[in-house]
Chain A
Amino acid sequence: MRASASNKTSLCSALLCCFLIGLLPTISHADTPVLNVVERFGVEVKNAEFTLQGDSYVLSADIDYRLSTRAKEALKSGVPLYWDIHIKTLQQRDYFWNKTLVNTGIRYRIQYHALLNMYRVRNEGAGDVTNFSKLSAALDSMSTIRAFRVMDTATYAPGERYAASIKVTLDRDALPLPLRPIAYVNPQWYLSSDWTLWPLTK
């Protein structure tokens, strides 16, 4: 269910991108602050590995979140940002599509609270809420994944090749409505990481 929703979203995103890029090339320029220094932003998956813990495979990953100026501004203005960490395990097949064994993920919401002057990170799945007085601390809390149970060893058949992949995306469709079209065309909002794929060994 989540997978299809995410696929739909990405398809929609792609199509909307195409249209907006074609129709309104001015949006991005209108909204991009003029920067003298080349700003580095985006999300990167630093380390990711699967380890066997009992009869389950668990994921440990370190993610580096670097928000763009625009994203930071939005966050500071009270706009909540939703992050999806997509985790997939695939069975690799030579003459056919790779088979997706597990498709799971973690969804975080990060929001600024003006009253407390705090950043609040909420794990949407588990419902945990944590407050941080600094943005970096809040991002750090989202960046470390430890012992996230992904799948049982039972699904692992000997003789087959498996791979795990991870990707972090900013859910642009969860942004406030007026921001959405811009988020699809302004590179400042291209914060999602690429898929990180690595072979899974027993």
Chain B
Amino acid sequence: MAFDKIKPPISLSILVLFGLILLLLQLMSSATQESSELSAMYSWLLLVNALGSVVLLGLVGANIYSLARQLKKREAGSRLTTRMVSLFVVLALAPAVIVFYFSMQFLHQGIDSWFNVEIDRAMEDALELSQASLDQRMRWHLRQTQQLTSRLVDSPETLVTLEMENLRQLSGASEMTLFSRQGRIMASSSINPSDILPSLPDEHVWLQLRRNTEFVALAPVREDELMIRVIVTVKTREPQYLQALYPVPIRIADLADSVEFAFVRYQEMNFLRDSLKLSFSLTLSLVLLMSLLAAIWVAFISIRNIIAPVKALVKGTQAVASGHYDRDLPVTAQDDLGFLVESFNEMTHRIARASAATRMAGIEVENQRAYLETILANLTAGVISFDTVYKIRTANQAAYRIFHVHVNQFVGRTLLELVQSYTELAEPLKSIQRLLEQADDIWQQRIAFLGPNGRQELLCRGTPLFSQEGLRVGAVVVFDDVTDLIQAQKNAAWGEVARRLAHEIKNPLTPIQLSAERLQHKLADKLNDIDAGILQRSTTTIVQQVEAMKEMVDDFSEYAKPSKKQTVDIDLPRLVQEVLALYVLKSGVKFKADYDTGLLMVKGDPVSIRQVLHNLIKNALEAIDGKGLIEISLHRVQKNNTDFIEIAIYDDGPGIKDEQIEQIFEPYVTTKARGTGLGLAIVKKIIEEHGGAIWVDTSRRLPGTAEVSQSIGNRCDKVGAGFIIQLPACNF
């Protein structure tokens, strides 16, 4: 801004420039006048003006070039500039060229009119007249001098000088000299006594003299003084020459001079006629060229200034179109264009404000969304939203955790598409899909399926979504893995039942047993053998059954009480070895143990873990009926970034029926004739109390029997059964 103030306005610069050009042209024009003092600088002025024209030409050329480039690049405002410049050039050029043409015509005609044949002849005549006049005078002087020589011939040599003086005075000559034949001065007389040395004729004169015996010529003695030099031969014994210098009368000399000057001037002008025309034309052309070029250049500058706001507007519009609202166009003038620019600025500001507000709102919405997403991601319940065609739109982390399928796999696919990729999830996914399609209202459903970690139970709750117009736009399904919860509820219920049963049943059992024994003891002697036998058998039965009941009640109480009493580091391979050591003696059963190398340690109660192993081995032994193969393997596995020790126990018994798999870990579920059905329930309880999991490994089938077992359903001979336990490993 400060710089703008210091800078002179462009119009002032232009005025100064024009002034300078005019001055230069005026100077050059003045210099054209021969008499002017500037004429010595004519060449310089011509050169300066020519250089000025070249510079202006360069400026105009540069402007045209830059305009052409802008035009080629289709830059903003270039076409308008071109049109305006062309218009200006045409408007300026046409009258200038017309004026120039007629000026040239007038100039040439004017110069030609100076010269014509009459003046030419008159000039020559005038000169001839003067020459004739002078000639006549010369001849007269010649004759006069020739007459004088006769007197010299007669006079004796000693008196020559004196005679000369007389003769000079008589003839009116200004100087008279007598030369010998060799050109030696013999006698001399001058009107001016101070002139000691007489005027000497040059070699040409002598040459002419020897040829013609006499010589007469006009001689400019000094630059502005005309003399008539007459030399005649004095016809003495030895030829002598008499030179006489006669002054030309001042009036005649002046007239002759004037005629000569005019003649020479005219001759010179005539000679210079073409040069003069050329010179004037050159000056005129330079004036035209320079003023035109200056005008065109100034036109370029002015037009550029006028176009500048339009250009800025175009650029601004382009910027706004491409989304840049921060352009503030400078308001250069308070005219209509300035008003336009101001309005444009106002408009861009408004758009910028509006777009900023929109952006802020967008950010707000985005923040809200991120907030909701964070909440959703951190929910324990899985949440999946669907669009109208049941394609998954979003799914949270919990969904992944529950289904063990990554969220990315969910989005954009339908549940049925997922079924094809994840066959193990076929059952719940199909169920959810069915429910989604059927339900018009909020629905809730428990869905149980066999997941990779065994039986899983989901509590699903679906809500169809409607738009404001009442159209169905999708649905949201929230599901929770309630497997553990249900199991815990079941366990708690069973534990309570077991505790009560144990309490209620165990109390009367001891009096029943004691009463039976007492009956036996008191009545055995008093009865006959038959009755005594009956009594004996009955009491024995009662006592045995009571014992059995007691065992059962003990099992119950065992199941009900918490198993994890103390926590120590257990070396699983060693424990397994110890347990197996109790069974290896059994004939007909082969044990196969397979351990990973390295430490396989878990944290837990060794007594409970030992019981787990006992229960499972017993279960296997019962399944194979004392004859077959039992495999035990210990592996280190990783799941959800946690190390687990996997204990797998397989037998080659008849296997477990599919419908039993779901309930096999529940109390009182048994396939055996004898047994409380609590063995596996206790195992599961202990494992879960240790933070582990147990499930039936359905994947393992003996070779060649898998298809048979599937096709014939319940008859699962020799397919074998397997249990997998996973316990959190100890990390050292």
| A binding-site residues for B, Cβ under 8 Å | 12-13, 15-16, 19-20, 23-24, 27, 30-31, 73-74, 77-79, 112-116, 120, 122, 129, 131-133, 137, 173, 176-182, 184
Contacts and interface: CB of A to CB of B under 8 A. Distances in A.
A15 B270 contact: no
B263 A177 contact: no
B43 A13 contact: yes
Interface stretch (B179-187, B189-197, B215-223, B495-503): B215-223
A115 B279 contact: no
A181 B282 contact: yes
B260 interface: yes
A31 B46 CA distance: 19
A118 to B, nearest CB: 8
B288 to A, nearest CB: 13
Nearest to B277: A178
Contact of B204 (A15, A120, A133, A178): A133
B40 interface: yes
B263 A176 contact: no
Given A12-B44, A16-B43, A77-B268, A116 B220 contact: yes
B271 interface: yes
Interface in B85-99: none
A3 to B, nearest CB: 18
A171 B51 CA distance: 23
A12 B50 contact: no
A184 B39 CA distance: 16
Given A115-B259, A129-B220, A133-B204, A181 B279 contact: yes
A137 B205 CA distance: 13
B39 A19 contact: no
A144 to B, nearest CB: 13
Nearest to A77: B271
Nearest to B218: A116
B262 to A, nearest CB: 10
A182 B275 contact: yes
B274 A78 contact: no
Nearest to B130: A115
30 contacts: A12-B44, A15-B51, A16-B43, A19-B50, A73-B271, A77-B264, A77-B271, A79-B272, A113-B220, A114-B260, A114-B264, A115-B127, A115-B218, A116-B217, A116-B220, A129-B220, A129-B223, A131-B219, A137-B204, A173-B40, A173-B43, A176-B268, A176-B275, A178-B272, A178-B275, A178-B276, A180-B42, A181-B46, A181-B282, A182-B275
Given A77-B267, A113-B260, A131 B274 contact: no
Given A77-B271, A137-B204, A178 B219 contact: no
A144 B5 CA distance: 69
B207 to A, nearest CB: 11
Looking at B31, B220, B276, the one whose CB has the most chain A CB atoms below 10 A away is: B220
Given A116-B220, A131-B220, A182 B271 contact: no
Contacts of A112: 264
Contacts of B257: 115
Given A77-B267, A78-B267, A180-B43, A115 B275 contact: no
Given A16-B43, A115-B131, A179 B223 contact: no
Contact of A176 (B31, B44, B220, B272): B272
> Which of the four size classes fits the interface of chain B?
35 or more
Nearest to B280: A178
Interface in B267-294: 267-268, 270-272, 274-276, 278-280, 282
B279 A178 contact: yes
Given A15-B47, A115-B218, 14 more contacts: A19-B54, A77-B268, A78-B263, A78-B264, A78-B271, A79-B272, A113-B260, A114-B260, A114-B264, A115-B256, A115-B259, A173-B43, A180-B279, A182-B275
A177 B220 contact: no
Contact of A182 (B51, B223, B263, B278): B278
B276 A184 contact: no
Interface string B25-39: 000000110100001
Interface in B391-436: none
Contacts of B265: 78
A184 B46 CA distance: 12
Given A177-B39, A180-B43, A114 B263 contact: yes
A120 B220 contact: yes
B34 A176 contact: yes
A116 B282 CA distance: 36
Contacts of A27: 278
B260 A115 contact: yes
A73 B275 CA distance: 13
A170 to B, nearest CB: 14
A16 B223 contact: no
Contacts of A113: 220, 260, 264
Nearest to B271: A77
B197 to A, nearest CB: 15
A16 B204 contact: no
A12 B204 CA distance: 42
Interface in B110-146: 127, 130-131, 134
Contact of B270 (A77, A114, A176): A77
A19 B272 contact: no
Question: Which 3 pairs of residues, A with B, have the shortest CB-CB distance?
Answer: A77-B271, A78-B264, A178-B279
A123 B725 CA distance: 137
B127 A114 contact: yes
A13 B31 CA distance: 17
A73 to B, nearest CB: 7
A122 B279 CA distance: 29
B271 A79 contact: yes
Given A115-B130, A177-B34, A78 B204 contact: no
Given A79-B268, A133-B204, A173-B40, A12 B263 contact: no
B100 to A, nearest CB: 16
Given A16-B43, A79-B271, A181 B278 contact: yes
A103 B580 CA distance: 133
A16 B256 contact: no
Contacts of B263: 78, 114-115
A176 to B, nearest CB: 6
A12 B131 contact: no
Nearest to A129: B223
B216 to A, nearest CB: 13
B226 to A, nearest CB: 8
B48 to A, nearest CB: 9
Contacts of B32: 177
Contact of A23 (B50, B204, B219): B50
Nearest to A134: B204
